[in-house]
Chain A
Amino acid sequence: MRLLYFAWVRQKIGRGEDEIALPSGVRTVSDLVRILSERGPGYADVFSDPVRLRAARNEEHVGFDAQIADTDEIAFFPPVTGG
């Protein structure tokens, strides 16, 4: 599965994307957030307190209860600030 990071999420993690195999038992964005928080210090900083975090699945905004599959592209980012 392809993971994308934007703005301070990318900056704290130190990279813009990851390619991971979806572990069994990981069914929702929330599950994914939990396993990513254990991936390293930058990841822990971003994913251990996900209140300010937003997500998209295959280029559409989704809530953290959304179901995910190994073929999905999941993006994590702060609330948007364009315009």
Chain B
Amino acid sequence: MRATIRIQMEDFDIGHESDALTAGSNAGALVNFVGLVRDDHALISLTLEHYPGMTEREIGRHVDEAASRWPLTSVTVIHRVGRLVPGDKIVFVGATSSHRQAAFEATEFLMDYLKTRAPFWKSEERADGMSWAEARASDESAAERWTEKS
């Protein structure tokens, strides 16, 4: 299985990442998920910070776990940091496999774990100032269903 993990300030190109995932993979299915900055309650910008080192390790462990649970041929996880505005792409998770179900499930699994385990934090800028985004219980329960299933 081929794995690519990148934490970066700059934008990414979905077409380019899709091509890189499928190149030489002999896969029958490619699933991409792209997370975007929502225009939530007049949001001006988001600034994302992370814990360099732990971020890559934590994502790497979950990519390995995804590869042990589903027959994947390639996985890419890209997470942006720094200042982003509504409409910007934040996160890319892509997976290829022989069949679609594995690629769908692995992509969802990785997103659920990124939300609850990967050490990123968002601060939100609005007209009245800056505040830290709160973790959501719904994200926690989304991640928990993967442990119930196994």
Contacts and interface: CB of A to CB of B under 8 A. Distances in A.
Contact of A80 (B90, B91, B111, B135): B135
Contact of B48 (A4, A8, A82): A82
B110 to A, nearest CB: 10
B51 A82 contact: no
A10 to B, nearest CB: 9
Interface string A60-83: 110000000000000101111111
Interface in B1-16: none
Interface residues of B, number: 28
A83 B90 contact: yes
A63 to B, nearest CB: 14
A7 interface: yes
Q: Is the interface of B mostly helix, strand, loop or mixed?
A: mixed
B23 interface: no
Nearest to B46: A81
Contacts, number: 70
A75 B57 CA distance: 15
A63 B133 CA distance: 22
A82 B122 contact: yes
A47 to B, nearest CB: 17
Interface in B99-150: 111, 114-123, 132-135, 139
Contact of A7 (B79, B132, B139): B132
A19 interface: no
Nearest to B53: A59
A82 B57 contact: no
B50 interface: yes
Contacts of B35: 83
17 contacts: A7-B123, A7-B132, A8-B132, A75-B119, A78-B121, A78-B135, A80-B115, A82-B48, A82-B79, A82-B114, A82-B120, A83-B35, A83-B79, A83-B111, A83-B114, A83-B120, A83-B139
Interface of A: 4, 6-8, 56, 59-61, 75, 77-83
